[in-house]
A and B are shown apart, each in its own frame.
Chain A
Amino acid sequence: MKLTLQIWRQNGPQDKGKIENYQVDATEEMSFLEMLDVLNQQLIEEKKDPVAFDHDCREGICGACSMVINGRPHGPQKATTTCQLHMRHFKDGDTIVIEPFRANAFPVVKDLVVDRSAFDRIIQSGGYISVNTGQAPDGNDIPIEKGISATAFDAAACIGCGACVAACPNASAMLFTSAKVSHLALLPQGAVEGERRAQSMVAQMDKEGFGFCSNTGACEIECPKEISISNIARLNRQYLKSSIASSEINE
């Protein structure tokens, strides 16, 4: 199939950037990234600068790939990362617009590559259980109800890609942050520091320059791992509880 690609090119964070047009010949079995590989091979043969994009596992699990395809983070297919998207979802003659994930907290490194280290700093601010190596009791000491464990898992499945931020009109990181808060708060091991965790993670999120959550739900729709927006409600409850508790202590 013959495709026209309109790709965002930007040489660095200071550069203004612009859309450029390319033609590429692809086949149905190719993945979206393999189609870009073909384009890059073409560009290199013409001694031009290839399009930079983040990728690694190409199996939908590392969270590296990150592009807005025809206006949608990770493209048109539901619950699918860019690397798992295949060209059989496009047709001959299509024009495809490819842009980076856009948010103030995700500055562009080059072309489609953005800096998502803000997510790491949110986790560093409290997204863990405080246990040192060697301190753990036997794994079966605390039985955990299968359903609760499954719900915790659903939240823990977040791959940290940032599509939720790119999808949100306010560039809020609530879905990402709430997924981590939920994963840990649902488990008895993690519930202990649940409120403190919610407080510090939300504070860090604000500090990084992510926007406010206005419940548009766009994040949930574009999330490749189908992280549920109910996690945001759970975060809000934790946060509220801890805010009340801390104001009582202050009084």
Chain B
Amino acid sequence: MKKLDPKVPEGRLADKWTDYKGTMNLVAPNNKRNIEVIVVGTGLAGASAAATLGELGYKVKVFTFHDSPRRAHSIAAQGGINAAKNYQNDGDSIYRLFYDTIKGGDYRSREANVHRLAEVSANIIDQCVAQGVPFAREYGGLLANRSFGGVQVSRTFYARGQTGQQLLIGAYQALSRQVATGQVELHTRHEMLDLVLEEGKARGIITRNLVTGEIERHAAHCVVLGTGGYGNVFYLSTNAMGCNVTAAWRAVKKGALMANPCYTQIHPTCIPVSGSYQSKLTLMSESLRNDGRVWVPKKKSDVEAIRNGSLKAKDIAEEDRDYYLERRYPAFGNLVPRDVASRAAKQACDSGHGVNKTGLAVFLDFASAIQRYGKSEAFKHGITDPDQETILKYGEQVVEQKYGNLFEMYEKITGDDPYKTPMKIYPAVHYTMGGLWVDYNLETNVPGLFAIGECNFSDHGANRLGASALMQGLADGYFVLPYTIGQFLSHEIRVPKLKNDSPAFLEAEKAVVERIDGIFAVNGNKSVESFHRELGLIMWEYCGMSRNAEGLKKAQKLIQDLRAEFHRDVFIPGDKNEYNPELEKALRVADFMELGEVMVLDALNREESAGGHFREEYQTAEGEAMRNDEDFTHVAAWEWNEESGPIRHVEELQFENVELKVRSYK
């Protein structure tokens, strides 16, 4: 076991980043011109990094498996992005955002990284506004904010329910501008299938051209991965269909460490599963919990009646409803953090109170909000004693302005009208806090390999707060990596343009070709999709919302068996030298299987409950998560080892500014 060095600079927490930036090694403009950087991924992290590195004068090559950079999964983010602007004058500050993030992460993240994130958060908003991102505004023309789960200030900036789309388009446009100048070379429909190391340093990647099937070698002075999260290991998740772990996993197989893979975020408000053909789950933004109240019927007889359709939600009397979040967590109510809200929903359903046919759904009800907004809006229109019809009219208008597109999406999918009847929701896999281990420079343990955005593990500890992933992706890409990458590259200025035909490149290329041929050679009987579904079921059952040692051990065996079966019985139609989505999926699922095993192992080894990782053996009498700070205030980072099995390394977490407390939202 290695003890990992996060390379956090000395000094006071609040000064570290400023001082570090001021003394960091720089690369002179004339040298930048000769330095090549590969960026994989064009989500918020990758696009912002590639654009900024291009502006700085580096020669950038950027890759995405999508047909356009604008389609990266970041496009789907709905609710918003946090920043410590304190525009609302409600007591927000850099320290408070820092503190909320550390606490929200259940004291399992690195103080210095989180503080830096809070520091640069304000710059992100400025940058995006300058790019033309149409954030929501007040009548006075100034930027509007709303609150998100787990905090008591209003610091979330948003663009209707399409914040991710607007931010990504901003970054995509900045990237396109660099492509036009020739500073950035764009490769779409290219999937990275391996990382290439030379003398221990990351010097390039092997890609497959997804249209022609051609395997290509690309060399550069260093490699940046912004390849997103691995939530799709569960098959069903809120992630886009293409999200996968392959780029990160290939890096792991070349020596990078996978940190805290068991920390998975299960989002409390998603549209429940409706059938076995289901291909993905749809998120209903957390912002809805600002106005929606979560409840289930108290009486089992009412539950039955709702399930068989003889009663509707609105028929249940107020006193027969259990607004369980408001009851259990009066201080935060419906705005408790995601892990807490998800577990509470699971408990409500496990105790038999679920409100749909499968018993796996709770209500999210907007009736009170419609009443409240309706009255105040009527008052603004000079109606002091409005009737119900007027209240509903105005109330629904306000709700439509705030959440119109989400309500529409809900209706399209379910056929129910959430203005009239409460939504039915259930938790679903959403985000992965775990990811490639990186130090303060966002560099992995492999020199010259950087990881940014959701694909690293850096800032969210064991649980991510809402509206913080967009912030982190853009912080990494616009304001952190472009500086810290210089720490590595300043030593590389004498290295001439790298060649892509060295033995290391040829060997890596050969290995990729063999991997592809191997998977075709199986020529079995089962589709890739069916294996992926089975893997997902195992992960959800044993390594999902709650876990225990017995289940995890069982999962280990099940995954090993499934993996063996995959390599014995998978069938890929078509040819490798053509556009072949089944081949793409097969390579991704093969990597998910290996990752799944390490996730289970990590969950088994972490003998405590922290954030998104809930071990049934470690809970209080009231069913709340119980951390074990004595033994587990550390990051677990896994090394892949074919012979001995995965090896666990640790980075001890030092809390010098925040006192470790029981996380309470009561």
Task: Report the nearest A residue to B70, measured CB to CB.
Answer: A160
Task: Report the nearest A residue to B414, measured CB to CB.
Answer: A29
Residues 573-593 of B, flagged 1 when their CB comes within 8 A of A and 0 if not, give 110001101100000000000
A20 sits at the interface (CB 8 A): no
Contact partners of B172 in chain A: CB under 8 A: 123
Contact partners of A248 in chain B: CB under 8 A: none
Contact partners of B527 in chain A: CB under 8 A: 41, 44-45
Contact partners of B204 in chain A: CB under 8 A: none
Stretch at the interface among B130-138, B380-388, B537-545, B643-651: B130-138
Contact partners of A123 in chain B: CB under 8 A: 172-173, 176
Query: What's the tally of chain A residues with a CB closer than 8 Å to chain B?
Result: 78
Residues 132-164 of A, flagged 1 when their CB comes within 8 A of B and 0 if not, give 111111111011111001101100110110000
Q: How far is the CA of A38 from the CA of B279 in the complex (A)?
A: 10
Query: What's the tally of chain B residues with a CB closer than 8 Å to chain A?
Result: 78
Interchain CB contact under 8 A, A56 and B275 = no
A234 sits at the interface (CB 8 A): no
- With A50-B573, A52-B581, A123-B172 already in contact, the answer to whether A187 and B132 are too (CB < 8 A) is yes
8 Å CB contact of B409 from A12, A33, A84, A146? A84
Contact partners of B173 in chain A: CB under 8 A: 123, 127-129
Extra contacts besides A120-B69, A149-B136 (16): CB < 8 Å: A49-B574, A54-B67, A56-B66, A63-B71, A86-B415, A115-B67, A127-B176, A128-B131, A131-B131, A133-B52, A139-B129, A139-B135, A149-B134, A153-B166, A156-B132, A183-B134
- With A136-B127, A144-B137 already in contact, the answer to whether A116 and B241 are too (CB < 8 A) is no
A57 sits at the interface (CB 8 A): yes
Q: How far is the CA of A131 from the CA of B574 in the complex (A)?
A: 46
Which of B134, B142, B574 has the largest number of chain A CB atoms within 10 A? B134
Q: How far is the CA of A116 from the CA of B68 in the complex (A)?
A: 8
Nearest-neighbour CB distance to chain A for B620, whole angstroms, equals 37
B402 sits at the interface (CB 8 A): no
Nearest-neighbour CB distance to chain B for A186, whole angstroms, equals 9
Task: Report the nearest B residue to A184, measured CB to CB.
Answer: B132
Interchain CB contact under 8 A, B138 and A63 = no
Interchain CB contact under 8 A, A27 and B277 = yes
A237 sits at the interface (CB 8 A): no
Contact partners of A45 in chain B: CB under 8 A: 525, 527
- With A117-B188, A129-B173, A133-B482 already in contact, the answer to whether A86 and B412 are too (CB < 8 A) is yes
B490 sits at the interface (CB 8 A): no
A18 sits at the interface (CB 8 A): no
Contact partners of B413 in chain A: CB under 8 A: 31, 84, 86
B162 sits at the interface (CB 8 A): yes
Contact partners of A43 in chain B: CB under 8 A: 573
Contact partners of B282 in chain A: CB under 8 A: 58-59
Q: How far is the CA of A48 from the CA of B70 in the complex (A)?
A: 32
A130 sits at the interface (CB 8 A): yes
Contact partners of B166 in chain A: CB under 8 A: 153, 156
Can you list 12 A-B contacts with CB-CB less than 8 angstroms, sorted by A residue number?
A27-B275, A31-B279, A34-B277, A44-B582, A45-B525, A84-B409, A86-B412, A116-B68, A124-B177, A126-B180, A136-B129, A137-B130
